[in-house]
Amino acid sequence: MNQAAPLHGCRLLGAFADEHDPLQRALAMQARALGIAVESVSDAGREQFYCLQGQGLAPTHCRLTGWDDEAPRAISEFTLQAACGLMAVHGRASGQAQAIDLDYLAHVVASLALTGLMATALARLRGGQVTDCSVSLPGAGLQCISQYLAGATAEEGAERLPAGCSSARLRPPFVSADGVVFELETLDAGPWLAFWDGLGVARADSSKGWQGFLLRYARAIAPMPETLCRTLANLPYAQVVEHCTAVGMAVTPVHQPGQRNTLTPVGDTPWAFKLHPVAVLPRPCNQALPLSGLRVIESCRRIQGPLAGHLLAMLGAQVTRLEMPGGDPLRGMAPLAQGCSVRFDALNGLKAVVELDLKSASEREQLRRNIAEVDVFLHNWAPGKAEELALDQADLAQVNPALTYAYAGGWGNAQVPVGLPGTDFTVQAWSGIAHLIGQGEGNPGGSLFTVLDVFGGVIAAQGIVAALLARHLHGHAGRVDSSLLGAADLLCRSRMTRIRPLSAGVFRCQDASLAIDCCAPEHLETLARLFDFPMPCAWQTLREPLALQLARQPAAHWQARLLAAGVPVAIVRQDLAELQQDPRLAPWLAPGRYTRVLSPWRFT
């Protein structure tokens, strides 16, 4: 079979005629990457319904929903980022609430929709009763910020980190004397402190910088003492590289997409499948969720892999998480609730936990025995570790030939500089995504929101469900690889082929900010008519008089009026703790020791 197309013979039917629509484009792009043929059907009344079908598959439907249980009218990428708090999280280190200038949530929603469709089709092959699913756009948006929401709503020590709470200038990425924008990375304090010692920076400043640098994954800010930024700004990039090499610190320039393309071309699929024919004894699906009855073992750290396991658990899989003796150290990261990090629990609370010492031959043998009884083994270990432990796909296939072996890595098969770790911020920089984000905002680049870890976890789960469906549909099993670079390339390709320029902005009203997006020509015409602006008019000429009028009334007044007229609009949620007070978001949130984000899927 075509290893890059595990679902050959399947078709996705839906509305794909609008080449300007980011969500339609994202769905088509991802479906084709899985080998699913895309067919556009003209049914104006069902533009948000999609159907997966193929030989051996009963037709399965997915419906996209918006602020209520209806089709998502007057919702765009820009306004969804505003309403669900993503603008606020990204804006913490950017000076003000700002959108990530990518079709980010469009791709997240597309991935979750396809995953829901595939999981439902799989359940039907296994005798389950589910036939259809729906995916909530607000639910998908909230899923992306679940860790940050947990930190902002913990019962004790809740974090208050509003947009612009740290300097947009004193933060990574850094800029050298010769104008190179670059990212530093180390997972250890030793190389960090040695690097700054070698540059003559006082230990008090470098220690303070380390705390901000270390917590940037969790808090989306990385406040740096000015001494650090000024020191690097006085050095040419070649000297920065020299100092990094001497102490074992990783460094990479923020590539422009064209520069990156000369190193490794932007990929057209975020997955690599290596599947082979197997005999499958299907586990029946006898519960309401589509992956009920399937078993997953997960051995992952940080965000990407744990989020993938979390999504599989939301789909009904029984997920068992392996942790080192004594438990994952991230369990102790503040803020805590009942002794456990709320951020950690937000991604791992649905899983069973088993402590296992992978350095022990006897405990590795115990793992192999358990693998014989599971459907998926998922890990994100460092390159080479699986082979070193004799726990690679070939090793485990001897125990369980029908196993889906999943690796959620950093770089995939790309040729990158030796010693450059595949973490969110290095991959953002190296891939060109950081440059694209910075270009949209007018600052040097990148987001301290974990753009790629989150989307990487979403596509890792998607690849696993695709492999499980291929196992039952075609009788093939084996390995599926996904990576942060694959996630970046999907976003990069979508951004570089965007057709319509952005006509969107954030405006201050009497009491709050409002995000307005004229993502179709009729929206601009409606806006001009509502505010009595002369026609025809361009977005740039409309912005200033629009701002003057919006400032005269509360944001809720304008939101109601514009939504009624069909213009995409949303109040910019600056404080994540306030999200649970929005009745439109409440169905996807569960207050408690912290506010948990519920599943974006519904199955019938």
| Helix ranges, 372-500 (H) | 385-388, 393-399, 424-431, 433-441, 451-474, 484-496
Pick the closest to residue 278 from 157, 404, 158 (CA basis): 404
How confident is the model over 573-593, as a mean pLDDT? 94
Output the six-digit token pair for 100.
């990530």
Across the range 323-350, mean pLDDT stands at 95
C-alpha of 78 from chain center: 16
Tell me the pLDDT band of 136, cut-offs 50, 70 and 90.
very high
Residues 6+ apart with CB under 8 A from 240: 176, 182, 232, 251
Dump pLDDT digits (tens) for 374-415: 999 999 999 999 999 999 999 999 999 999 999 999 999 888
**115: Cβ contacts below 8 Å, ≥ 6 apart:** 311, 315, 458, 461, 462, 465
Lowest mean pLDDT of 7-16, 163-172, 277-286, 509-518, name the range: 277-286
Half-sphere exposure for 549 (CA within 13 Å, toward CB): 13
Which pLDDT value is given to residue 1?
38
Judge whether residue 442 has pLDDT over 60.
no
Tens of pLDDT, residues 220-250: 999 999 999 999 999 999 999 999 999 999 9
Average pLDDT over residues 93-110: 93
Report residue 17's pLDDT band, with 50, 70 and 90 as the boundaries: confident
- Name the average pLDDT for the chain: 93
Section 536-556 average pLDDT:
92
Choose the weakest-confidence range: 388-392, 485-489, 492-496.
492-496
pLDDT tens for residues 34-88?
999 999 987 644 568 899 999 889 999 999 999 877 767 789 999 999 999 999 9
Confirm if 362 and 390 have CB atoms less than 8 A apart: no
Mean pLDDT of 261-283: 88
The predicted pLDDT at position 173 comes to: 95
**N-terminal to C-terminal alpha carbon distance within the chain:** 32
DSSP code of residue 564? H
User: How far is residue 104's CA from residue 51's CA, in Å, rounded to a whole number?
Assistant: 23
Mean pLDDT of 13-31: 90
CA 182, 504, 103, 145 torsion-angle sign: positive
Q: Mean pLDDT across the stretch 276-284?
A: 83
The token pair that represents 501 in the structure block: 């320029």
The answer to whether residue 369 scores a pLDDT higher than 60 is yes
pLDDT reported for residue 43: 60
Reduce the DSSP state of residue 224 to 3 states and report it. Answer: coil
In this structure, what are the phi and psi dihedrals at residue 79, rounded to the nearest 5 degrees? -75, -30
According to the model, what pLDDT value does residue 309 have?
98
Q: What is the pLDDT of residue 44?
A: 45
Rounded Cα gap, residues 41 and 484, in angstroms: 33
Mean pLDDT of all residues in 143-161? 95
What is the pLDDT averaged over residues 288-305?
Answer: 96
Cβ count within 10 A of residue 343: 27
Q: What is the pTM of this model?
A: 0.96
The Cα–Cα gap between 506 and 65 comes to: 24
* Burial bucket for residue 579 (CB in 10 Å: 0-12, 13-18, 19+): buried
pLDDT of the residue at 244? 97
Token digits for 94?
Answer: 């950017």
